[in-house]
Amino acid sequence: MADELKRGLEGVLVAESDLSYVDGEVGKLVYRGYDIEDLARGASYEEVLYLLWHGSLPTAAELDSFVADLAAEREVNDGVIETVRALADAGERPMAALRTATSMLSAYDPDNEGDDDGATLRQGRRITAKIPTVLAAFERVRQGEEPVAPDPDLSHAGNFLYMLTGTEPDAVSEETFDMALTLHADHGLNASTFTAMVIGSTMADVYSSVTGGIGALSGSLHGGANQDVMEVLHDIDDSSKDPVQWVKDTRDDGGRIPGFGHRVYKVKDPRANILEEKLRDLAESSGDTKWLDYTTAIEEYLTDQGLVEKGIAPNVDFYSGSVYDSLGIPVDMYTPIFAMSRVGGWIAHVAEYQEDNRLIRPRARYTGPEDAAFVPLDER
Ligand SMILES: CC(C)(COP(=O)(O)OP(=O)(O)OC[C@H]1O[C@@H](n2cnc3c(N)ncnc32)[C@H](O)[C@@H]1OP(=O)(O)O)[C@@H](O)C(=O)NCCC(=O)NCCS
């Protein structure tokens, strides 16, 4: 049993955690026991951060001081902005730019060498506050615009949209984006969270954990599926193709439908249900139902084909792209926005794991030779 090899660590238990639980058979996700639907509809992203980092929902006074502390950390040093400009000039991809800039943030953290009990959460708060500033600055600079300074009076979600566009968002956009941040904040030991934990288990600083988490999330098997969905929807639109025909052609070619299927969920992802509803609200209020029509047609067709019943159901990415597009967010910013939310989960898991830390160090089954005869260089 001890020597059983689990490819991809699938199903392997490596830690105990109070943070989030996914029941893929019934489509349930909870953060510290609270159903994701209740949190998405009733709590702000800041409340969710507090819940994940401090163990309980905040009182109004606790939330006020938490929000103020977070907002006070939004500004980033000019040195980081100069680097962001250089990265945009070089045509760097947004996730790679975020990875580089996040690592650089540590240079300006007044207690980046703090390694006492509270250091992970203290430094983590600064990182969480500054990531939106970095991302918005990168997007503006590459569009030939100047970065917009953060507004400490706006919410985490509202301030990001403000820094991105230079205009304060309307209430529906702010609420929708806040909901999307909550929905992506944590999801058990996914690959990027585990990456952050492995780094944290060496007692490296949390900048290293978050930088590693961003790297892991950037991979196409993890954070990129909502971008794929949106590219498909644009493709369907640009070519005036019938969405159902696109699905038929893709399946005939043996291709997969992005936004469908999940390693854990065998029914529709609960986050997809919530975002679908939001997409419907946005479509109704704007009168532009294009993305809603396409996604509904695809889902109905695949349901009729029995795919959903077989467990290949819509996941969170099937709807998040359309929601972001409706908010005017460019497609290649979707994965960075995922990072902007998931950073809350990464920090929570690192802090939780370090409370009873054990260096994460698995083994590989060695399949190479054990007695190769060494030949000196000049005899090879
Ligand atoms: C997410 C994903 C990688 C999970 O895959 P997995 O648990 O490893 O499942 P498998 O790859 O073993 O697939 C099981 C079966 O379902 C099929 N399947 C899975 N996802 C599918 C999809 N999106 N479209 C069509 N068929 C799909 C596979 O072809 C396979 O069929 P087979 O047994 O006849 O070969 C997979 O569903 C996928 O590639 N989805 C599209 C990308 C996506 O949306 N990713 C975001 C996830 S949040």
CA of 312 to the centre of ligand 1 (A): 7
Distance CA 207, CA 186 (A): 18
For the chain, domains (ranges, CATH) are 28-218+333-355 (1.10.580.10), 225-326 (1.10.230.10)
DSSP collapsed to 3 states, the chain: CCCCCCHHHCCCCCCCCCCEEEECCCCEEEECCEEHHHHHHHCCHHHHHHHHHHCCCCCHHHHHHHHHHHHCCCCCCHHHHHHHHHHHHCCCCHHHHHHHHHHHHHHHCCCCCCCCCCHHHHHHHHHHHHHHHHHHHHHHHHCCCCCCCCCCCCCHHHHHHHHHHCCCCCHHHHHHHHHHHHHCCCCCCCHHHHHHHHHHCCCCCHHHHHHHHHHHHCCCCCCCHHHHHHHHHHHHHHCCCCHHHHHHHHHHCCCCCCCECCCCCCCCCHHHHHHHHHHHHHHHHHCCCHHHHHHHHHHHHHHHCCCCCCCCCECHHHHHHHHHHHCCCCHHHHHHHHHHHHHHHHHHHHHHHHHCCCCCCCCCCCCCCCCCCCCCHHHC
The predicted structure's pLDDT at residue 1: 52
| Tens-digit pLDDT string for the chain (380 aa) | 557 899 999 889 999 999 999 999 999 999 999 999 999 999 999 999 999 999 999 999 999 999 999 999 999 999 999 999 999 999 999 999 999 999 999 999 988 777 787 999 999 999 999 999 999 999 999 999 999 999 999 999 999 999 999 999 999 999 999 999 999 999 999 999 999 999 999 999 999 999 999 999 998 888 888 889 999 999 999 999 999 999 999 999 999 999 999 888 999 999 999 999 999 999 988 899 999 999 999 999 999 999 989 999 999 999 999 999 999 999 999 999 999 999 999 999 999 999 999 999 999 999 999 999 999 999 99
Distance CA 332, CA 223 (A): 11
Site to probe by mutation for ligand 1, drawn from 190, 193, 268, 312 as the one with most ligand atoms within 8 Å of Cβ, is: 312
Question: Given 109, 186, 205, 317, which residue is catalytic?
Answer: 317
Site to probe by mutation for ligand 1, drawn from 184, 260, 295, 298 as the one with most ligand atoms within 8 Å of Cβ, is: 260
The predicted structure's pLDDT at residue 322: 92
The predicted structure's pLDDT at residue 124: 97
Residue with CA nearest ligand 1 atom 37: 261
Tell me, using a 6 A CB cutoff, whether residue 259 lines ligand 1: yes
Question: Given 262, 269, 325, 349, which residue is catalytic?
Answer: 262
What Cα–Cα distance (Å) separates residue 208 from each residue in 111, 136, 189, 229, 344?
A: 14, 22, 18, 31, 15
Ligand 1 nearest atom to the CA of residue 315, by list position: 48
Residue with CA nearest ligand 1 atom 42: 258
Residue with CA nearest ligand 1 atom 20: 261
Tell me, using a 6 A CB cutoff, whether residue 322 lines ligand 1: no
Tell me, using a 6 A CB cutoff, whether residue 182 lines ligand 1: no
Is the distance from CB of 328 to CB of 275 less than 8 angstroms?
no
The predicted structure's pLDDT at residue 289: 94
Q: Is 123 exposed, middle or buried (0-12, 13-18, 19+ CB in 10 A)?
A: buried
The predicted structure's pLDDT at residue 116: 80
The predicted structure's pLDDT at residue 109: 94
CA of 262 to the centre of ligand 1 (A): 7
Based on the residue annotation, tell me whether 317 is a catalytic residue of this protein: yes
CA of 256 to the centre of ligand 1 (A): 7
Based on the residue annotation, tell me whether 234 is a catalytic residue of this protein: no
